[in-house]
Amino acid sequence: MRVLIVDDEPELREQIALSLRQQQYTVDTAGDGALALEKVFADPFDLIVLDLMLPEKDGFTVLRELRAEGVKTPVLMLTAKGEVDSRVKGLDLGADDYLHKPFSMAELLARIRALLRRSHEQISPVLTIGNIRLDTNTRIVTLDNQPVSLTPKEFSLLEFLFYNRNRAISRFTMAEHVWGDAFDPFTMSNNIDVHIKNVRKKLNDQGGRIIVTVRGVGYMAKDEQA
Amino acid sequence: MKIRNRITLWVSLAGLVSSVVLSLIVFFWGLETPYEFLDQELEIRAHTLVDELAREQASGARIGGEALEHFSHLYWARLYDADGRLLFASRMAREIDLPLHSGRKGYLTRTDIPLNRFYSDEEDEPAAFWNRVFTVPTDGVMYRVHVARPVESLVGESIESAVMIGSALLASALILIVVSYQVAGRILQPVQEINRLSAEITENTLEKRIPLAGNRDEIDELAASLNAMFNRLQYSFLRQKEFVANASHELKTPLTLLRLSMEEMLQDGQLPVPMQERLLTQERTLTRISQLVKSLLDLSRLEMSESLERTTFSLNALIAAVVDEFQPLLQERRLRFTSRLDGELRVHADQEKMRRMLINLFDNAIRYNQPEGEIRCQTRAEGGQVVLVVANTGPGIGVADQQRVFDQFFRCEQSRSTTHGGSGLGLTIVKRIVELHGGSIAVESTASAWTAFTVTLPCGSPG
């Protein structure tokens, strides 16, 4: 999977690139809009992570020119919430998803996987760890082929951990992902332990072999085969 | 009273007073004038008669000759000598008796003799006589002449003209009112236009200006001053918007970077425990800063915005949905939640902002609660308004602090000392959202018992 990261902040660009490479993505980067367009037209990518505020050409312009040229590559917009109705405008121009700064890497990876899955049918919508299968399309979880009934929040939490398998995710990050922007992650992170306890019980994982407690950090979906 | 009505009233009153004065002058002048002509006529006639009489006397002819009869036949006339002996009476004076009043002025004597007896073409209304008494010296001899002329009674005429003048006054008053109302409207129309345009200018239409007529009158000057004010407003508004957008980007990009690298470090399972603990403290702090920046920018945007994206929805359904999100947390803290919600309670409001308001209120109610405490939520419709009460048990807010809980970054002393988290902006945001909806918020608190926030919104929707 080839991903292009477009952001004018070099350290941020490299940080994202590093994490994506660890996840076996092929990553290229661009620091401004003009360079980004050059790279996209030269070589096809599977996904573009596009910052909104860029020198030379801003994210909207890049996106508009891409879509005008018929490039259908999925675009994940990075916005600082409030930048000139960025959300609506970006989606109007053909962005496939957006992420508000500051975001967590886990959230970015989950969004990238979901976007790639949507645009490439060959990536299975089913995430499997051990004897647990999680179908992101039907939102059904099975344990040894037996359906497990999870609440929407529990499903969302498990899906997030599965997308980020073998990464330790903090409670704050999980709270942000599950409850969204309007809620205070400080308050909501207190929820996480209850939810994890319930999910473990339903998945017969009280010992925490699949949903592992990472001491001091948070939780991780551990996939021995990866 | 509206200026238009005031102008109409004053112009009409002034016009009416001046026309009443004018009418009175004309009316009384009209009453006097006919008699002045009569006076002159009678005076000339008196002299003619005396001249004729003198001539008859001088010629030694019989007094009351043909000439005298001829000159006096249309008049009532009696001629006396200086001693008051009657020398001659005209035909009319022989038939009718009229009282003699000496004096310089003329006077009117009413009779019941029909007027058409003297003037065949007149109607049979009773005749009045206009009398004059003159003393005329001729050739050294003094004569006294009492001469009168039958006239139609001017009372009817006066009433008639009074009625005429009255109705003319009424008509002119009506015309004055209508015209001045129209003129006032015309004069005030630019003011109304300015008013309408100013009201139309909102955050989204700041580039609008009031068109200038260019005639440099007072209203044009007013419009120009307002436009100048709008220029300054637009400038500072754009500046603030720019600031928020820039601050958003400039603050959030490094925060993202910080956060990502911190997460990456935490992935390292080989980290020594003290290092890991320090990293976790940093993550907490970073989350707080992120939250603070987010709230601050949210508040800036709320402060700037004036318009809402209103839809009609059930407030109680929204409350239920928000409470549902908090449910596991309530269980975890063993907080009892009770609600008394009044039916559907449909409101016409900005749903996203209402949701934010409820989240902040409930977050607060949970954050500052006591273990195994209670949260109560109540909604009701009250005379076209919607009242929402969120109350929680807990340490309460001191009276001195109650007014300040909505201030930016204000936190009560008790909550500062313990680590409650929060940005100190939650209630400020709530207050701004309530104000944007034209509502009000109040806090009530009893020490170590209850704290209740009451939101009143005027956005109830019928049905």
Interface residue ranges in chain A relative to chain B, Cβ cutoff 8 Å: 7, 9, 11-12, 15-16, 18-19, 52-53, 80-84, 100-106, 153, 167-168, 170, 172-173, 179, 181-188, 190-191, 193-195, 214, 216-217
CA distance B181 to A69: 64
Cβ pair B260:A16 closer than 8 A: yes
Q: Which residue has the higher pLDDT, B410 or A121?
A: B410
The confidence score (pLDDT) of residue A86 equals: 60
- % residues pLDDT > 90 (chain B): 18
Phi and psi for A201 in degrees, rounded to 5?
-60, -45
The confidence score (pLDDT) of residue B400 equals: 82
Residue A43 Cα, gap to closest chain B Cα (Å): 28
Region class of B60: left (phi > 0), else alpha (psi between -120 and 50), else beta: left
Identify each DSSP E strand in B374-439 by its residue range: 374-382, 385-393
Cβ pair B328:A102 closer than 8 A: no
Chain B residues near residue A187 by CB distance under 8 angstroms:
329, 363, 366-367, 421
Q: How many CA atoms lie within 13 A of A19 on its CB side?
A: 28
Three-class SS state of A83: coil
CA distance B91 to B78: 10
Q: How far is CA A125 from CA A114, A157, B154, in A?
A: 8, 16, 113
Cβ pair A216:B301 closer than 8 A: no
Mean pLDDT of chain A: 86
pTM above 0.80, yes or no: no
E strand or H helix at A22:
helix A10-22
What CATH architecture applies to the domain A126-221? Orthogonal Bundle (1.10)
β-strands A211-214, A218-221 pairing: antiparallel
Question: Which pair of tokens denotes residue B408?
Answer: 């930016």
The amino acid occupying position A196 is: I
CA distance B170 to B191: 31
CA B442 to chain centre: 33
Measured between CB atoms, which of A80, A105, A186 is closest to B249? A80
Phi and psi for A164 in degrees, rounded to 5?
-105, 35
**pLDDT over threshold 70, residue B60:** yes
Banded pLDDT at B267 (limits 50, 70, 90): confident
How would you label B160-195 residue by residue, b for 16+ Cβ within 10 Å and e otherwise? ebeeebeeeeeebbeebbeebbeebeeebebeeebe
**pLDDT over threshold 70, residue A206:** yes
The confidence score (pLDDT) of residue A199 equals: 93
CA distance A160 to A148: 17
B324 inside 8 A of chain A by CB: no
Banded pLDDT at B461 (limits 50, 70, 90): low
Residue A180 makes CB contacts below 8 A (sequence gap 6+) with: none
Cβ pair B249:A83 closer than 8 A: yes
Topology of domain A2-119, CATH: Rossmann fold (3.40.50)
Residue A92 makes CB contacts below 8 A (sequence gap 6+) with: none
Chain A residues near residue B422 by CB distance under 8 angstroms:
184, 186
- Contact indicator for B90, B77 with CB cutoff of 8 Å: yes
CB neighbours of residue B410 within 10 Å:
15
Nearest CA in chain A to B248: A80
B236 inside 8 A of chain A by CB: no
Mean pLDDT to the nearest integer, B408-436: 76
Chain B residues near residue A190 by CB distance under 8 angstroms:
329, 332-333
Cβ pair B269:A101 closer than 8 A: no
Q: Which residue ranges make up each domain of chain A?
A: 2-119, 126-221
β-strands B126-138, B107-114 pairing: antiparallel
Q: How far apart are the first and last CA of chain B?
A: 37
Q: Which residue ranges make up each domain of chain B?
A: 3-161, 218-301, 309-457
Residues 249-278 of B with CB under 8 A from A: 249, 251-261, 263-264, 266-267, 269, 273, 276-277
The amino acid occupying position B114 is: P
Mean pLDDT of chain B: 85
What CATH architecture applies to the domain B309-457? 2-Layer Sandwich (3.30)
Nearest CA in chain A to B364: A187
Topology of domain B218-301, CATH: Helix Hairpins (1.10.287)
DSSP string of B180-228?
HHHHHHHHHHHHHHHHHHHHH--GGGTT--PPP-SS--HHHHHHHHHHH
Cβ pair B249:A186 closer than 8 A: no
CB neighbours of residue B82 within 10 Å:
11
Cβ pair B329:A103 closer than 8 A: no
Cβ pair A190:B333 closer than 8 A: yes
Banded pLDDT at B17 (limits 50, 70, 90): very high
Identify each DSSP E strand in B237-317 by its residue range: 310-314
Q: How many CB pairs under 8 A join A and B?
A: 121
Q: How far is CA B221 from CA B119, B158, B245, in A?
A: 72, 54, 36
Chain A residues near residue B262 by CB distance under 8 angstroms:
none
Secondary structure letter of residue A219 according to DSSP: E
